[in-house]
Amino acid sequence: MQRTLSKKTVRIIPGFSITLGFTLTYISIIVLIPLFCLFIYSTELSLANWIKLITGKQFLIALSLSLTTALTSALLNAFIGLLFAWVIVRYRFLGRKIIDTCIDMPFALPTAVAGIALTAIYAKNGPIGQLFSIKIAYTPIGITLALLFVTLPFVVRTLQPVIEDLPHELEEAAKILGATPRQTFIYVILPAILPAWLTGFTLAFARGIGEYGSVVFIAGNIPFKTEILPLLIVSKLDQYAYEAASAIGICMLIIAFILLFIMNLIQRRLNRAIVKVR
């Protein structure tokens, strides 16, 4: 009697079958069916053409450019984002709320606007661009910069709640037990924030690979040099090569899937390790 009662009380939202049904239908329409169609489109490309496409010089260079710029920006943002989140959560200062709001701006701003603005500022004759002796816009550095802008919110927003939940007592206890600040960070704070940190990093990285709108303006789009993978898709579409475009899309999807999968594995390991330590 008590068992059935407790079973019932577990479900806070009523109607398991309805909610699950809705979830499945929704995910099918929004995610699975479009992806499935992408696969069907790409099967129209013969195997020989597939191989030719993904071993082509243009594809490989675009792929490595997309991966390296996305990785660089995600890594940089991991540290900058940690700093931002720490400052916003731990300190009270004038304008904190404004900075907090600003972080979400890259989400709201159309990426093309961001791209045009960044290009204007970092071009050779732009207000910041002319301060540097090296070229920033129209180089991989410019691409990384655009990605830094677009993916900033991911790390900050995933870390913020975790840092907020981190009890001060932990740090105090560490201090009382004689830990140096460095030790406190590495052995007390880092394990607690690491899973969220990795999530933010992964999201930023995945977004960076797929970002198109802001990057095309600052990239310069020179074939074999500053041509990113999504641009290759657009150029295939403009040649009405739907199959080739979806084939590249599939490649990006597979790469993203593998990356997310690895990240999830690492995270699970970490979580287990943390639980063990505790």
Partner 1 sequence: MAQILIKKWPRRLISLSGSWLDKALLLKIGIIFSAIIYINNAWSIELLNVSYDPTRELYKSYNQAFIKHWQNQTGEALTIKNSHGGSGKQARSVIDGLQADVVTLALAGDIDALNRYQPLIDQNWQSKLPNNSTPYTSTIVFLVRKGNPKQIKDWDDLVKPGIEVITPNPKTSGGARWNFLAAFAYAKSHYVSDEKALQFVTEIYRHAPILDTGARGATISFVQRELGDVLLAWENEAYLALNEQGGDELTIITPSVSILAQPPVAIVDKVVDAKGTRKQAQAYLDYLYSDEAQQIIAKNYYRPTNPVILAQYAEQFPKLRLVTIDEYFGGWQDVQKKYFDDGAIFDAIFEQINE
- Does 220 bind partner 1 (CB under 8 A)? Our answer is yes
Position 113 contacts partner 1 (CB under 8 A):
no
Q: What amino acid is encoded at 148 in this protein?
A: L
Mapping DSSP to helix (H, G, I), strand (E, B) and coil, where does residue 223 land? coil
**What's the burial of 117, exposed, middle or buried (CB within 10 Å: 0-12/13-18/19+)?**
middle
Contact, 202 vs 259, CB < 8 A?
Answer: yes
Q: How many helices (H) and strands (E) does the chain have?
A: 15, 0
109, 175, 225, 263: residue in contact with partner 1 (rule CB under 8 A): 225
Instruction: Please identify, using beta-carbon distances, which residue of 44 and 165 lies nearer to partner 1.
Output: 44
What's the closest the beta carbon of residue 45 comes to partner 1, in angstroms? Answer: 12
Report the residue from 86, 171, 188, 221 that binds partner 1 according to the rule CB under 8 A: 221
Based on the shown chain and the rule CB under 8 A, indicate whether residue 267 belongs to the binding site for partner 1: no
Name which position in 152, 244, 247, 250 contacts partner 1 (CB under 8 A): 244
One residue of 54, 109, 116, 255 binding partner 1 per CB under 8 A: 116
Shorter beta-carbon distance to partner 1: residue 15 or 56 = 56
x/- map, 92-111, partner 1, by CB under 8 A: --------------------
Q: How many residues bind partner 1 (CB under 8 A)?
A: 35
Which is nearest to 251 in space by CA: 37, 42, 2, 75?
42
- For partner 1, which stretch binds (CB under 8 A), given 3-11, 52-60, 76-84, 251-259? 52-60
Residues 189-218 that bind partner 1 (CB under 8 A): 216-217
Which range touches partner 1 (CB under 8 A), out of 36-44, 102-110, 167-175, 250-258?
36-44
Give the separation between CA 215 and CA 207, rounded to whole angstroms: 12
How far is the CA of 275 from the CAs of 84, 135, 191, in angstroms?
Answer: 27, 48, 10
Give the integer Cα–Cα distance in Å for 249 and 247. 5
DSSP result, 107-138: HHS-HHHHHHHHHHHHSTTSTTGGG-SS--TT
**CA pair distance 133, 146, nearest whole angstrom:** 19
Establish if 235 lies at the interface with partner 1 (CB under 8 A). Answer: yes
Closest approach of Cβ 24 to partner 1, in Å?
Answer: 17
Q: What is the CA radius of gyration of the chain?
A: 23
- The residues of the shown chain that bind partner 1, judged by CB under 8 A, are 37, 40-41, 43-44, 56-58, 116, 119-120, 123-126, 138, 216-217, 220-226, 231, 234-241, 244
